[in-house]
Structure formats: structure tokens, C-alpha cells
Amino acid sequence: MSGLLRARVAVVGAGPAGLVLANVLHRSGIDVLVIEQRSRQAVETTPRAGLVEHRVVAYLRQWGLADELLRDATWHGWCDIVVSGERIRLDYAARAGGDRHCVYPQQLLLRDLLGALDEADRAPRFDSAVLDVDLTSATGARLRCAEFEAECDFVIGCDGARSVVSRSFPGSPDGDVRRRYPYDWLTMLADLTAPVEGIRYAVHERGFAGMMPRAGRLGRLYLQVPADEDLARWPAARLHEELGVRLGADAGIVEIREPGILRMRSSIARTSRHGRAFLAGDAAHVLTPSGAKGMNLAIADAADLARSLVRWYRHDDATGLAGYGERRRSQARHALGFSEELLHLLHLPPDAADPAAELRSRRAQVQRLTGETPEAERFARDYVGSGRL
């Protein structure tokens, strides 16, 4: 044990929520300590999400945290939805007042956020697993790691779905919103013949497939499979063949890398606050990749917490913190609703009695979203993340 550290706010987890929160708090004059169990290399190199909402980009720019993103990212305002081989273009930017997605891999954003903390001499404590969180004090919290302990006024759990901070809350850590979908997704990176010009979703009688842009000629691909499928049943040759059938022969897949399987679940925690402890990001809610809402919702949590903590320290105003849990549950439910709307659009029921009729229904739904209607505008604005955090 090397000693006792002290900070006003301790953030557990160096993911999008934790690093955005730490940067904004520091720039607001609030002392913050970030503790991360992984190595810095793992944080900066593990591929994850890649689409950043319009409002998240605006927030990062507001706080001076978007310079590299604005310089290097690409922008997307349309997607193609392929229904049984027929490609329908959805120009969501046109329906959302010009708002677009930014394509910028999550690991690059984390690298940028860590660089900003480095410049402020506030680098996280890496390779430091939090072993215990003591919330018994009414005026703060105490965290125990193998090499040190930390005392703080507030502790923020940004440490994922198996959050140690969440486990310190009384009662069951399970959410009161829990979903297990009747399919899973195979997920993989792929080297392609050309950069992905825009997101491609495929609705097919054999199941959903998706191709998402990443940096350069790299793409993130998804393939629907039965729930609890065994990844070993999907060698590279079978993946190539099935992706070609569902996405189209022009997908341009050269080599598939890092195949994995995503068990399709969603959940929202019963509560994201206990005393001086709060949850953000996957510690508070887990969404599927459908609609790319997970990272963006995590950063929205961080923005809400940062604003509320600043009000506490500057104005002795606890109203923001008091309402945090209800606000975030409402936003998580909204994000989950959109994610499930898109899941329903892109997946046929596994036991569909008439797949051809289901495909005709999906085609009609997609075509409605291309029109100049309130439904199309609402979908586009939800999809791209219009407005402000």
C-alpha cells in the first residue's frame, strides 16, 4: 500500500463516460482522480464503437475536446437499407436539418481524451483495479486498490456492466429493465477493397447483416445468427459466403479479422445513484449496437453529471444531483426504444410464418422513412442525435 490519495471526485473507469467527465470537471476547476483496471495500451487500442452523434460532437467541441476528431473524422448523412437485394437510400441528414454522424473510432477518441488529461497532469491510475468501495460515510466515499486507497466527496462508476461501484449499492444490482433478444450477432472487423461510403443494413430472409464504416478501408461487420450460437460453427469461408448473400456481392470483403459473438441483451439499472455514488455509461445501462447509442448515451451521462457536480461545488445546489437518476433513466429508456425500433425494422421474427410478407412489410416501412413526413423526420433526428446533450 503506497498511501492515501484525495480528490473531490473519483472516477472509476477510463472509458468514454469516465474520460469525458474527468476532462470537463478538471476544466471546471474540480479536482478529479481516474482509476482504471486495464493498461493504457488496452484503453487506447481496443476497437469498439465508431459513430459519434451530432450533439456529442458539439459538446466535445464546446469543451475543447474535439480538435483531433474534427480534423480526422469522416461525416455520414445517409445509409443504405437493402431489403432482399433492393437497395433503398435513407438520407437522414436531409430529414434532420443537415445534422450528420461523425465516424471516429472510440479508441481514437479515448486516446485524445487521455492526451488532454496528460497535458493537465491528471493521467489516470492505470492497472489499478478497485477492490472495494465504502459508501458508509454521509460525506464521501473511500476506495481501496491493491497499491493505494482514495478518499473523495463523490465516486462515479464508469466501470462497465460488471461495475464494482454498482455492486457497492444495497440490494440487487440487476436492472428492472432486462431484455434478451431471440438472436445474436456475429461481429468482426474486415479489410475491404474500398472505404465504406455509408452504413449498409441488410434485411434478408436468412437474417440481418450490417456493414459500418471505420478508419480507412476497415469496416465493422455484423451478422445475425440464432441465440446462443457457437462461434466455432462460423469459419472465415462461411462468414464470407453469408455476408455476400445478405449484404451483396459488391460489399468488397477482402479479409475478416477478430470474429466474435455478441449476445444481444439490453438492460437499465434500477438506480444510478446511492448517496455520494453515481453510475454512468454501461454501469447504468447496456444497449445493443443497434443505432450506435451506447457510447453516445455514456457521454450524455457524463455531461449531465459534470453539469450537476459543477452546480454543487460552485453554488451549493444539489438539485441537479438529486434528479440525475430519473433524468438518465428517462434518456436510457428513450435510447433503448429507438434501438429496439431499429432492431424490429432490420430483423424478421425467427418464427415468421410468411417471410415474404414480413419482407414486404419491412420494405414499406423503410420507404416511409425516406419521405418528407413527421415520422421520417423524427426517426432521422433520433438516429443522428440532433439537438443538445
- pLDDT the model gives residue 49: 84
Backbone angles phi, psi at 78, to 5 degrees: -145, 160
Inter-residue contact 153 to 293 (CB < 8 Å)? no
What rounded mean pLDDT belongs to the chain? 95
- Residues 6 or more apart whose Cβ sits within 8 Å of residue 230: none
Task: Label residue 131 by pLDDT band (50, 70, 90).
Answer: very high
| Closest residue by Cα to residue 56 from 369, 327, 335, 272 | 335
Give the architecture (CATH level 2) of 4-50+105-178+266-339.
Answer: 3-Layer(bba) Sandwich (3.50)
CA distance 318 to 157: 19
Give the residue extent of every domain in the chain: 4-50+105-178+266-339, 181-265+348-384
CATH homologous superfamily of 181-265+348-384? D-Amino Acid Oxidase, subunit A, domain 2 (3.30.9.10)
Alpha helices of 63-105 — where are they, by DSSP H? Answer: 67-72, 92-95
pLDDT at 178: 92
173: confidence class by pLDDT, cuts 50, 70, 90: low
115, containing H or E segment: helix 106-119
CA 195/CA 209 separation, integer angstroms:
18
pLDDT in tens, 330-343: 999 999 999 999 99
Give the span between the Cα atoms of 105 and 196, in whole angstroms: 14
> What pLDDT score was predicted for residue 183?
96
Contact at 8 Å (CB) between 44 and 111?
yes
Section 174-200 average pLDDT: 90
**How large is the average pLDDT for residues 177-205?**
94
pLDDT in tens, 271-291: 999 999 999 999 999 999 999
Residue whose cell numbers read 440525475: 324
Answer yes or no: is pLDDT of 1 > 70.
no
pLDDT at 293: 96
Using the predicted structure, report yes or no on whether residue 94 has a pLDDT greater than 90: yes
